[in-house]
Structure 1
Amino acid sequence: MKIRIKGNSLRYRLTRSEVERFAAEGYIDDSTSFGLTQLTYSLKVSGDDDLRADMRNNCITFYMPSHMADEWTQTDRVGFESNSSDLYLLIEKDFMCLDLPMQDQADNYPNPLMMDHVG
């Protein structure tokens, strides 16, 4: 799972296996160590009507309504976004990069633009 924070925006990108695990368990997390401190970031199914996020005890939790989670994990839908609060939220499936072919991308979703770069 990749996380991007820029200003008042938060974006998560998940690979295929991460989306599958999220679909099965309703929760997924990862973490990064900063010496003695650890930042955890998670995605959790919620009963809310819209995307939301909060941060407590060095953990960023991104909440995804169950109806969105079902659609996102069971269809080709790329992602969801929300501008309903001061924090812009975006959750997406992680596509293969077209400009970094040497990077291991076996678990990423096929990039729809790949056909434009073939032959």
Structure 2
Amino acid sequence: MKIRIKGNSLRYRLTRPEVERFASDGYLEDTTDFGATRLTYSLQRITGGNLSACFENNNITIYMPHLMLQEWSTTERVGFENTDQGLYLLIEKDFMCLDLPAAEQADNYPNPLMMSK
């Protein structure tokens, strides 16, 4: 899972196996170590509501409603977005980069631009 933070926006990108694992388990996390401090970023399935986020105890959690996750994991839908308390959130499937070898990106979703060629 990749995380991108820029200003008041937060984006997670997930590979195909990560989307499958999240759909199955309802939870996914990764960490980054900063010496003595660890940043955890996670994605958690919730029953209802909207895409939302919180930051507590060095953990960024984005909450995704079950119905949203179900659609996302079983269709061609690329992602979902929402603004939560002024924070723009985007969850999306991670596509293959056009300028990297495909073998290095086997877990990523096929890039739609590659298919149109």
TM-score between both structures, scaled by the size of structure 2: 0.94
**C-alpha contact 2:31 2:41 (8 A) present in aligned 1:** yes
The amino acid of 2:62's aligned partner reads: F
Aligned length: 117
Q: Percent of aligned positions with the same letter in both sequences?
A: 67
2:29 corresponds in structure 1 to 29
2:40 corresponds in structure 1 to 40
Report deviation, 1:74: 1.1
Question: Structure 1 residues 105 and 56 mapped into 2: Cα distance closer, same or farther (>3 Å)?
Answer: same
Report deviation, 1:48: 3.3
Report deviation, 1:31: 0.3
How big is each residue's C-alpha offset from its partner over 1:87-108, in whole Å with a ceiling of 9 and x where there is no partner? 0000000000002237720100
1:77 corresponds in structure 2 to 77
1:56 corresponds in structure 2 to 56
d(CA) in 2 for partners of 1:35, 1:12: 23
The amino acid of 2:53's aligned partner reads: A
- RMSD between aligned alpha carbons? 1.4
Question: Structure 1 residues 114 and 102 mapped into 2: Cα distance closer, same or farther (>3 Å)?
Answer: closer
SS of the aligned residue for 2:48 comes to coil
Report deviation, 1:84: 4.4
Question: Structure 1 residues 102 and 108 mapped into 2: Cα distance closer, same or farther (>3 Å)?
Answer: closer
Q: Where do 5+ consecutive residues of structure 1 fail to align? A: none
SS of the aligned residue for 1:113 comes to helix
The amino acid of 2:60's aligned partner reads: I
d(CA) in 2 for partners of 1:106, 1:63: 27
d(CA) in 2 for partners of 1:27, 1:77: 20
